[in-house]
Structure 1
Amino acid sequence: MKKSGLMAFIAAVMLLSGCGGENRQTPDSAGEDSSTVYVNAEKTVFGICGEGSAMNTLQMITDSGDTLSLSITDAKENGKVLGGYACGDRMAVLLNDDKTVAQLVINETTLLGNWVMPNPLDGSSFVGISLKDGGIAESIDQSTIVYKTWRIVNGRIEIQSVREGGGDEEEINVYDIVKLDADSLVYKNEEDLFEYGRLK
């Protein structure tokens, strides 16, 4: 009786584990598939510019530890190398399907800093945005807009802010980066164009 009871208990545990595994496997698999599809659809890779970079090649050590050697010839010709690149810089790169060609290169290190423009209301002062390491964003001399965070998503910059006096609701706006170099940052969406100079 004891032996058969023990065997029945083990069989029940194995059966439940098997069923549980199957039940969990489907959502996990679906989650992995969905995630894989999302990553492949986005094709953005984050990492550090490596020492093997050259005039038309970007060596990138990704956050996952892979080392990629990417052709940037097409990106250069299309004006899609934003902010340049130097060894040790933090990069966000939009890749082609086989991960050999960079279609868009954004230098996140160059993106960091204080960016200002003449106040559109009167032009007598400067307003702007400070983009800090770790995805932190802050307003520069703006009383109505409080910037909170920034990040690169799908090769575009996403900025989260709060408009004071407008219900204090958070807004998330996504922009295409048109220009980025040591002194200039220009980004736009369908409604707005922001042209900044670096505050020194």
Structure 2
Amino acid sequence: MKNKKIILFAFFAALMCVACGEKKSATSGDSEDGNQWAENVERQRRDSTIYGVCSDGSTMHVMQLISDNGDTLHLNLMDAEENNKLFGGFTIGDRMAVLANDAKNRAEWLVNLNVLMGDWVMPNPLDGSSVMGFSIHDGGIVEGINQGSIIYKTWRLINGKFELTSVREGGGDFEESELYTLLFLSDDSLSYRNSEQVFEFNRPGKVPDFEELDDVDVKLDDDAEADMYF
């Protein structure tokens, strides 16, 4: 009888060890998933954008950029031009936002901030007789234009994306940020997309010109949440 009790005790002890091991493994797996998610979010928030001013050493396909850090960069523009990643063109003295290669001698994505600033509107989809949109200002300030239910808070360019942060009327202080992919930018026209649709804006009183969008791939993503976080 004593031997049977010892055997039973050992059996139940083994079961408890297995159960504890499985629980520890599951907890470890959940922790690893959580850490990976946090790393992805942090990676997304780290910004590699270079800001500076287009200098007089620029040519048609090479930009001389005096960065905010005081560096003088000579950036070949061929890749950006061929991939439709040069937004707003450039002239001497324009303030630019740039993504460059690791060697910082080729520009992969450029936005003319002077062109991006100002008022952008589109027809109100509810009635078509009025316009709605936003006004972009220096320092990350953005203001809504005839936006009844959305209050814009900030804007920024981050790793080749255009980010808008807003709160919804009646939603308290709950902020919603969404990343958009720029498609086109000129003096009178702005277009970008998220995972679900394409947005087209023009300057107030101006006619938009999106003919060059015919050469741009505007395929939408399947995951509508990929560019949104809270």
TM range (shorter): 0.7 to 0.9
- By how many angstroms is 1:148 displaced? 1.3
Q: Distance in 1 between matches of 2:140 and 2:92?
A: 21
Aligned counterpart, 1:19: none
Q: TM-score, normalised by structure 1?
A: 0.77
Would the aligned equivalents of 1:43 and 1:96 in 2 still touch at CA under 8 Å? no
Unaligned regions of 5+ residues in structure 1, if any?
A: 1-37
Report how many aligned residue pairs link the two structures. Answer: 163
Q: Distance in 2 between matches of 1:73 and 1:122?
A: 43
Q: TM-score, normalised by structure 2?
A: 0.67
Matched, 1:50 2:52: no
- Which residue of 138, 141, 145 maps to 1:136? 141
Q: Deviations over 1:37-74 (max 9, x none)?
A: x6xx8542111111111100111000100000000012
Matched, 1:110 2:115: yes
Give runs of aligned pairs for residues 2-151 of structure 1, distance below 5 A. Answer: 42-151=47-156
Which of the pair is proportionally richer in strand?
Answer: 1
Matched, 1:183 2:188: yes
Write out the 4+ residue segments of structure 1 that deviate beyond 6 Å after TM superposition. none
Would the aligned equivalents of 2:48 and 2:158 in 1 still touch at CA under 8 Å? no
* Cα root mean square deviation, aligned: 1.9
Aligned counterpart, 1:163: 168
Q: Deviations over 1:91-146 (max 9, x none)?
A: 11110111100011111111001000000111110000100111100000111011
Would the aligned equivalents of 2:143 and 2:153 in 1 still touch at CA under 8 Å? yes
Pick the structure with greater CA Rg: 2
Identity across the alignment (%): 53
